[in-house]
Structure 1
Amino acid sequence: SHVFVCVCVCARVRVLSTTTVSAPVSPRRWLNLQEFQSKKLMRECGVSVQRFFVADTPAEALEAAKRLNAKEIVLKAQILAGGRGKGLFDSGLKGGVHLTKDPAVVGDLASKMLGFHLTTKQTPKEGVKVKTVMVAEALDISRETYFAILMDRSCNGPVMVGSPQGGMDIEEVADRTPELIFKETIDIFEGVRDDQAQRMAANLGFRGPLEKQAAEQMKKLYELFVKVDATQVEVNPLGETPEGQVVCFDAKINFDDNAEFRQKTVFAMDETDESDPMETEAAKYDLKYIGLDGNIACFVNGAGLAMATCDIIDLHGGKPANFLDLGGGVKENQVYAAFKLLTGDPKVEAILVNIFGGIVNCAIIANGITKACRELELKVPLVVRLEGTNVKEAKRILAESGLSITAANDLDDAAQKAVAAITKK
């Protein structure tokens, strides 16, 4: 087993707790784009990427390979996980990335990818089913660099980060050779200035005509950053070819979830097939859900409270099955949806509701709880701790409901009672 560490920041949920679990849990990325989707966005902003086509069938892949008319072709399985090159398909094919100079073999390779599960170091052990492949022109890389634009709190805005050491773990570069990490703070009113882009290009080792070309690519990447409300655009590697081209060979784009209302086209590209079904369902009701491997469901409001709840359950010998964060401005239908999710999880043997109401009205929670218990015919023990806004009315609603609900005085009391409820069973 290993320690599950969970950090929750605003709407981006990652889990930080001393809770020990027996299986790794991947952090939830609210918008996940396939490689070809990110490259499409880049291409639309004039960023240099490899020529590529997308195929859903072996016949389409073969046709795409012929249309490329390239010296060498790279075929990539499209899944939301790293380590594809060293992955294994249940068809027996090794590797989710293949190079070939013969377009005729692309169809055969695609037939062993499409419809089969690819397992990598970042996928579940059963792998992920491949539904799409990218057929791209393979370009030689004579030199690799690293470049990114990201939001930096210490700079109060976006910053360019680059290194002449690309194609590798940038954290490792920063740790071993920090002098090879270069930064340029971007003024949000001016954008990327010519002198900044040229200085960064020079620091990354681009020389002669390549320096100007790299600087232009950086400015276009910033245009993309602003256009799609990104929080990060990372290109690794930003490479140069023997023919004298500066090309973005791979990219990762993170988006500001709060900008979804004006980025409808981008967010419509989100694919949830590879996401946890319960996380996807929870997101429909603006609930933040992280699945764990215990048997006590945690139903809370606020990331910090969620972490504390998981920890104190563990302290009393129990194991959290999840944490589900209501957040602020909760409505009764969200409470009902939350209970429906939790009761639909077969490993849940008890539910602990822990609400500390500030902006949350405890009476709304109480009404949602009683409605859910009746309509869903709750079969597992329910422990409720409420504190804060309108708590007296909330406790009255629960007490007069006639339902089998165990009230708790504080968090420690609630955790003890939830663990005891399972122990008695």
Structure 2
Amino acid sequence: MDVHEYQAKEILARYGIPVPRGGLAYSPEQASYRCTELGGDAWVVKAQVHSGGRGEAGGVKVCRSDREVHDVANGLFGTRLVTRQAPGGKPVYRVYVEEASDIARELYLALVLDRASEKILVVASSEGGMEIEELAERDPDAVIRSVVEPAVGLTSFQAREIAFALGLEAGQIAQAAKLFQSAYRAFRDLDATMLEINPLVVTGEGELVAVDAKMSFDDNALFRHPEITELRDRSQEDPRERHASDRGLAYVGLDGDIGCMINGAGLAMATMDMIKLAGGEPANFLDIGGGASPERVLKAFRAVLNDKAVRVMLINIFAGINRCDWVAEGVVAAFGQIDVTIPVVVRLAGTNVEEGKRILRESGLPIITADNLAEAAQEAVTAARAAVPA
């Protein structure tokens, strides 16, 4: 789950990380009032959307008067901000008005889960204010990587080592090390999967301030953090993923036209690979999990068909804890309750597979069956190509 910049900053501030003063606004008039509350002679108006690259997309503007703040906010509200990370655009329903910072240097700091080492990775750079992917490609040596040993956490020595590598002055090392350790504690305590401060600014007075911040959290750990769950903004989510999430399904929307319903994340990944190998494009990742009842299969069916780009549905079940007859009953029930107008390819294997195949065979429904994954993927790709309008 992602949160907005202002929410991430509120979290970081609770952990002692300096952030600029600011206020949230839901209308141009409120935005104008926020700058008078903050005082000063310069403010930054920031569209609050779940996407990076807001600045180059026109979602971040420096203003010199309350009238300018009003006009910028008025131009953002109700629009869809199109960025490199969100080519389809994200709706703008709120803006954050923040005091302008005196920027002497811009740094980059992030904490992410490194799945290769199964540990938390600190990523930093002395070149902040730009996308880390671009920097890593242009100058790999400019990116500092430091793996945190989970048994001891981010130690003072390791934090100071990162600060020295960033080229900070002697008087800023202790401040930076404390900030890095605070960021680590926020990441660890709240089960985050990503924390990014870009830029981490060194002000003219030599202070370190988090001018921008992004945080993402592990959905599976949100039950431990109801205060984080409350920060969810459903307007920023993919409608397909929101629909599935509300029904307890693990779903990730993709850009293809072959809808997938699979049990097990590993099998789902293998199925999507096989679809690509056969020349097709998966429309989603959907894991219905083990022990899926016919009712759960029906929910998954609706979630896949909720994507209007789907031309074919591929159901691939390897039943261990699950049962093929349950899945088959769910598929048959779906045809009875939903207007299924696209081809459906089903591959069943494992527990009660013969009973599952019998149910599908005797249903009299136009279901394409396959005996193995390669055959199922090829059948789905062939059907998708045949379904493309002339």
Question: What TM-score range do you get, normalising by the shorter chain?
Answer: 0.7 to 0.9
TM-score (norm 1): 0.81
Larger displacement relative to structure 2 (389-398 or 158-167): 158-167
Query: What is residue 356 of structure 1 aligned with on the other side?
Result: 318
Query: 302-311 or 237-246: which moved more?
Result: 302-311
- Structure-2 residue corresponding to 1:57: 27
Residue 368 in structure 1 maps to residue 338 in structure 2: no
1:167 corresponding residue in structure 2? 129
**C-alpha distance after superposition, 1:325-345 (max 9, x if no partner):** 323343322210122233444
The equivalent residue for 2:3 is: 33
Asked if 1 retains the 8 angstrom alpha-carbon contact of 2:125 and 2:143, the reply is yes
Q: Is 2:257 aligned against 1:287?
A: no
Residue of structure 1 aligned with 2:105, choices 130, 143, 162: 143
Question: How far 1:424 moved relative to its partner?
Answer: 9.0
Match of 1:69 among 13, 16, 39: 39
Partner residue, 1:220: 182
Query: Match of 1:112, SS?
Result: helix
Q: Does 1:45 align with 2:15?
A: yes
How has the CA–CA distance of structure 1 residues 215 and 381 changed in structure 2, closer, same or farther, with 3 Å as cutoff? Answer: closer
Structure 1 residues 187-214: Cα deviation after superposition (integer angstroms, max 9, x where no partner): 4344333333233222222223322222
The 3 A distance-change label for structure 1 pair 101 and 368 is same
Partner of 2:194: 232
What secondary structure does 2:130 align onto?
coil
Supply the distance in 1 between the matched residues of 2:273 and 2:146 (Cα, whole angstroms).
41
Q: Deviations over 1:62-100 (max 9, x none)?
A: 11100101232111111122222232xxxxxxx221112
RMSD, aligned CA? 2.8
1:97 partner letter: V
Q: 1:119 to 1:417 in 2, by over 3 A?
A: closer
Deviation at 1:283, TM superposition (A): 1.9
Select which of 156, 159, 162 maps to 1:200.
Answer: 162
In 1: Cα distance, 2:132 partner to 2:308 partner: 41
C-alpha displacement at 1:395, in angstroms? 1.9
Instruction: Tell me by how many angstroms 1:42 deviates.
Output: 0.8
What TM-score results when the alignment is normalised by the length of structure 2? 0.87
Matching residue of 2:84: 121
2:296 pairs with 334, 344, 348, which one?
A: 334
Cα contact 1:301–1:354 (8 A) shared by 2: yes
- In structure 2, the CA distance between the partners of 1:306 and 1:96, relative to structure 1 (3 Å rule), is same
Q: Which runs of 5+ in 1 are unaligned?
A: 1-30, 88-94
Give the corresponding residue for 1:25.
none
Once the 2 structures are TM-superposed, how far is the Cα of residue 319 of structure 1 from its aligned partner? 5.7
1:97 aligned onto 2:60: yes
Q: In the alignment, is the contact (CA less than 8 A) between 2:244 and 2:303 conserved in 1? A: yes
Larger deviation: 395-404 or 330-339? 395-404
**Percent of aligned pairs with the same amino acid:** 41
Contact 2:311 2:387 in 1 (8 A): no
State whether structure 2 residue 173 is matched by structure 1 residue 211: yes
| Structure 2: gaps spanning 5 or more residues | none
What's the CA shift for 1:137? 0.7
TM superposition shift of 1:262:
0.3
The SS at the match of 2:214 is: strand
SS in 2 for 1:378: coil
Structure 1 residues 349 and 83 mapped into 2: Cα distance closer, same or farther (>3 Å)?
Answer: closer
Q: Which amino acid aligns with 2:59?
A: G
Q: Is the 8 A contact 2:53 2:83 kept in 1?
A: yes
Supply the AA of the counterpart residue of 1:292: D
Partner residue of 1:385? Answer: 347
Q: Which residue of 2 aligns with 1:112?
A: 75
Work out the number of aligned pairs and report it: 386
Contact 1:313/1:415, CA 8 A, preserved across alignment: yes
Supply the AA of the counterpart residue of 1:73.
Answer: W
CA distance 1:218–1:319, shift in 2 (3 Å): closer
Letter in 1 for 2:251: K
